[in-house]
Amino acid sequence: MWTLELPPFAPFYLGALLVLIPHHTLRCLAMLLVPVLGAIQLMLLPPLMQVQMTFLGMELTPYRVDKLALLFGYIFHLAAFLAILYAFHVRDRVQQAAGLIYAGSGLGAVFAGDLVTLFIFWELLAFSSVFLVWARGTRRAYVTGLRYLVIQALSGVILLVGALFYWQEHGTLTFDYIGLSGMHGWLIFIALGIKCAFPFLHNWLTEAYPEATPTGTVFLSAFTTKAAVYVLARSYPGTELLVYIGAFMTCFPIFFAVIENDLRRVLAYSMINQIGFMVCGIGIGTALAINGAVAHAFNDILFKGLLFMAMGAVLHMTGRINGSDLGGLYKTMPKTTVFCLVGAASISAFPLFSGFVSKSLIMSAALDEGYHFIWLALLFASAGVFHHAGIKIPYFAFFAHDAGIRSADPPGNMLAAMFIAALICIGIGLYPAALYRLLPLDMAYTPYDTTHVLAQTQLLFFSALAFVWLNLARIYPPELRSVNLDFEWVYRKLAPALINQSVRITDAAKTLVSTAGERLVPLVNLAIRQLTRLSRSSLTGSMVFRVVVVLATGLALGVSL
């Protein structure tokens, strides 16, 4: 069938042309059809296939299908559908086109079979998504977007250099297991690390996601980091370093999330925490762990998307997103509240919600493989994620003290998108076999047994008890209008300050040299005049010439200094 030849990104790139349709509803309906048709095409694909071509002497595989790629293919189509539905009311065509190209680039990266194709889509992800940040239209969003673009493009360049080293080493560009060996291994690892928001490389995420438009963030939350998790799962499974990086990623953001005021930034930190679980699972590398990592990526796209949608709805309706300005919205936004609570329960891995059935795979794998301290760290992070994403987000937005805002629930399309996402979160929680069937590796696992359910429920309820106690005892830190320093300080404050300082030092040095030069010139002129007079008299010309050369050299040196 000819459609099978059409790679999954193509419908999205072609779909971006739909923004030319003048009628708003017609345009949005047509855009909504793109992921639907794409998903149907995906379902017709054979489970294993690849398309190869030769380009400039390179063997390329622009299109490769297997079970791992298909899993991400399905969830990217679903995420694109939900995000387009959520943004149905948006009239900004730049955002609409950027959203489609961005989703298409995510698919392109997932189905790429060689490193050059991967690089191309890697960069397209960056260049298309930045428009979703810029579309906010504020000066702050513009500056943040620029920084986001620089960091993302840098990740691409490092990936390309790594790919070239890989080519030199292996004589092929096939994108499969790479591992941490040699220059290429480390370069590609760092490139992935940037997009995966590894510690100290993570601030693009916490900066840009809260600055994008309410609908833009829903797109952003789905593709970039999950494409990176996919690539990591394919090329670095079982790399032990990832276990420690992942465990650190699950722990450090939750401290920032507790004291952060911007609720979408809280979600951005919690996103790093969730990616940490995936990275850790990939590092452990057993079938159970890898399946857990990719299943958690699948679920995270849905529940994190749902939470970003709920917070986007709050921002869209009230114009505010700081915890210090919100509260009591459950009275006038009851539907959004319920959807947010479903998302919160899912991310917290409550039994019967989606997070539970994927996170417990990773936790069990960590215990099975003897990573006991890592397991404790993950357990700490599980309690922590419930604390900030499960309780803090809904509590400060919809409950807490009544801020007196009386905004209604958002438009129907936003509610519909949240409804579908919430339904799937519960559906996967109730019937995990549906998700497990899509996982790339064979495993036998039952999430619902007494041990898992009881342990997780106790962990969560007593975390909630801690929240209640801390609140009643007035120990819980209040939401404050503030900025918290993170690693971004290094390039937003320290580096500019150092550059300013060095510019000032260079300027001073220049002034010094030029004044010295100005004083030197008359002296040298005088010396030359004296010498000419001497040469006219008795001394031989050749000797004078030599002295002149020496002095001229001295002058030249003085000026050039």
Partner 1 sequence: MNDRDKSSALDSPATVKRILRVFYVICAVLFALDLVLSRHTIHTLEAIPGFYAIFGFACCVILVVIAKWMRTFLMRDETYYDNELKDGNDVDA
Which residue, 3 or 482, is less far from partner 1 as judged by CB?
A: 482
Compute how many other C-beta atoms are within 10 angstroms of the C-beta atom of residue 437.
7
Cβ proximity to partner 1: between 177 and 462 the closer is: 462
Residue 307 backbone dihedrals phi, psi, to 5 degrees: -65, -40
Question: From the CB of 334, what's the least distance to partner 1, in Å?
Answer: 5
CA distance 436 to 363: 16
Residue 338 Cβ vs partner 1, minimum distance, rounded to whole Å: 7
Closest contact distance (angstroms) between CB of 451 and partner 1 is: 4
User: 72: which residues sit within 8 A by CB, 6+ positions away?
Assistant: 110, 226, 227, 230, 294, 297, 298
Give whichever of 146 and 516 is closer to partner 1, judged by the CB atom: 146
Cα separations in angstroms, 98 against 29, 296, 436:
17, 26, 32
Per the listing, tokens 């429920």 go with 457
The answer to whether the beta carbons of residues 382 and 374 sit under 8 Å apart is no
DSSP per-residue codes, 130-172: HHHHHTT-SHHHHHHHHHHHHHHHHHHHHHHHHHHHHHHHHS-
Q: Which is closer to partner 1, CB of 47 or CB of 137?
A: 137
- Joined together, the tokens standing for residue 544 give 């004078």
CB of 364 to partner 1, least distance (A): 9
Query: In angstroms, what is the minimal distance from the CB of 112 to partner 1?
Result: 34
Taking the C-alpha atoms of residue 205 and residue 249, their distance in angstroms, rounded to an integer, is 13
CB of 490 to partner 1, least distance (A): 13
> Nearer Cβ to partner 1, position 140 or 546?
140
In angstroms, the CA 269 to CA 250 distance is 10
**351: three-class secondary structure by DSSP:** coil
Integer Cα distance of 136 and 131 in angstroms: 9
The smaller minimum CB distance to partner 1, of residues 114 and 486, is found at 486
Beta carbons within 10 angstroms of residue 226's beta carbon: 27
Nearer to partner 1, 83 or 135 (CB): 135
Q: Quote the least distance from Cβ 522 to partner 1, whole Å.
A: 42
Spatial distance between the Cα atoms of 110 and 158, rounded to a whole number of angstroms: 19
132: its two tokens: 């979703």
Shortest reach from residue 459's CB to partner 1, in Å: 4
d(CA 327, CA 371): 41
Taking the complex as a whole, the smallest distance from the CB of residue 475 to partner 1 amounts, in Å, to 7
What minimum distance in Å lies between the beta carbon of 441 and partner 1? 21
Q: Could you tell me the smallest distance in angstroms from the CB atom of residue 503 to partner 1?
A: 14
**Cα–Cα distance for residue pair 69/112, rounded to 1 Å:** 9
Nearer to partner 1, 253 or 432 (CB): 253
Q: Which is nearer to partner 1, 181 or 451 (CB)?
A: 451
| Closest to partner 1 by CB, 356 or 467 | 467
**Could you tell me which residues are beta bridge partners of residue 113?**
none
**How far apart are CB 454 and partner 1 at their closest, in Å?**
6
Question: How far is residue 37 from each of residues 26, 74, 305, measured CA to CA in Å?
Answer: 16, 12, 22
- Taking the complex as a whole, the smallest distance from the CB of residue 472 to partner 1 amounts, in Å, to 9
Q: In this structure, are strands 58-65 and 49-55 parallel, antiparallel, or unpaired? A: antiparallel
> How many CB atoms are closer than 10 A to CB 557?
10
- Considering beta carbons, is residue 457 or 525 the nearer one to partner 1? 457
CB of 211 to partner 1, least distance (A): 12
- Identity of the residue, 276 or 394, whose beta carbon is nearer to partner 1 in the bound complex: 394
Which lies closer to partner 1 via its Cβ, residue 58 or residue 143? 143
Q: What is the 3-state secondary structure (H, E, C) of 395-442?
A: HHHHCCCCCCCCCCCCCHHHHHHHHHHHHHHHHHHHCCHHHHCCCCCC
Closer Cβ to partner 1, 73 or 210, answer by number: 210
| Alpha-carbon gap, residue 125 to 147, rounded angstroms | 15
> Tokens 């191309």 identify what position?
120
Spatial distance between the Cα atoms of 430 and 448, rounded to a whole number of angstroms: 10
Give the H or E element holding residue 63. Answer: strand 58-65
Cβ count within 10 A of residue 228: 26
Return residues touching partner 1 (CB under 8 A). 137-140, 142-143, 254-256, 258-259, 330-331, 334, 337-338, 341, 367-368, 372, 375-376, 379-380, 383-384, 387, 391, 394-395, 398-399, 402, 450-451, 454-470, 475-477, 480-486, 492-493
